[in-house]
Amino acid sequence: MKEKEEVKKEFDFNKVKEEMKSHFESSVNVYKDEIKKIRTGRSTTLILEDIKADYYNSLTPIKQLATLSVKDASTVIISPWDKGAIKSIEKAIISSNLGVGVIVDGNSIRVNFPPLTEERKKELIKLLHGKSEEAKVALRNVRHKYLKLVKEAKESFHVSEDLEKRYEQEIDKIFHEYVEKIDTLTKAKEKEIMEV
């Protein structure tokens, strides 16, 4: 009996829980980065930074080719370091279908963010909800991995059934907290899209 208790100590649920929270946090951070790129009525450089332009036969993110700055609520200015990249940056932004106006202005590019139409707002909200669901699937996959770990611990570390149930409940509780974080971020972004 004493042997079993010593083996039981090997399964450190607190360590497992911290590792799981770290994975959940990563999923939420990926979601935050994704929704930053969804256009609202206000201008932002985040939407444009990762668009790739053909630069000497290599697809390169715009943020590596130019300085991006917000001029006002509806305009972003892109100043390429190599003026030869202007045409390919312009082409990349136009083909990205963001619904923005692109004007080459000498050695820079002006990107105008027109007010969103009701139809476009609905499309963006649909896109947002799709990304929200993807994030929740990622959270469910993490939860599944750790529930499986607890089940395996029952066998290999002789964790009691009561303890197994308690661990599973705790995993579910933490999982729901992170789902709530995704929902809160989604509602805030939805509000941002609709208010402009």
Domain boundary assignment for the chain? 2-36+117-195, 46-112
**Rounded Cα distance, 149 and 143, in Å:** 10
Extract the tokens encoding 58.
């290599």
Whole-number Cα distances in Å, 98 to 10, 42, 71, 133, 180 = 53, 13, 18, 22, 29
Fold of 46-112: Gyrase A; domain 2 (3.30.1360)
What's the confidence (pLDDT) of residue 196? 58
Q: What residues contact 185, with CB distance under 8 A and at least 6 apart?
A: 28, 31, 32, 35, 132
**Rounded Cα distance, 64 and 30, in Å:** 21
Going by C-alpha positions, the residue among 117, 135, 138 that lies closest to residue 39 is: 117
* Other beta carbons within 10 Å of 60: 17
Determine phi and psi for 119, rounding to 5 degrees.
Answer: -65, -45
pLDDT band at 5 (very low <50, low <70, confident <90, very high): very low
Does 2-36+117-195 match 46-112 in CATH topology?
no
Q: Share the mean pLDDT of the chain.
A: 90
Q: What would the pLDDT profile of 89-102 be if each residue is shown by its tens digit?
A: 999 999 988 888 99
Domain 2-36+117-195 has CATH 1.10.132.20: yes
pLDDT band at 71 (very low <50, low <70, confident <90, very high): very high
With beta carbons less than 8 A apart as the criterion, state whether 112 and 185 touch.
Answer: no
Beta bridge partners of 69: 77
Q: What would the pLDDT profile of 151-195 be if each residue is shown by its tens digit?
A: 998 888 888 899 999 999 999 999 999 999 999 999 999 998 988
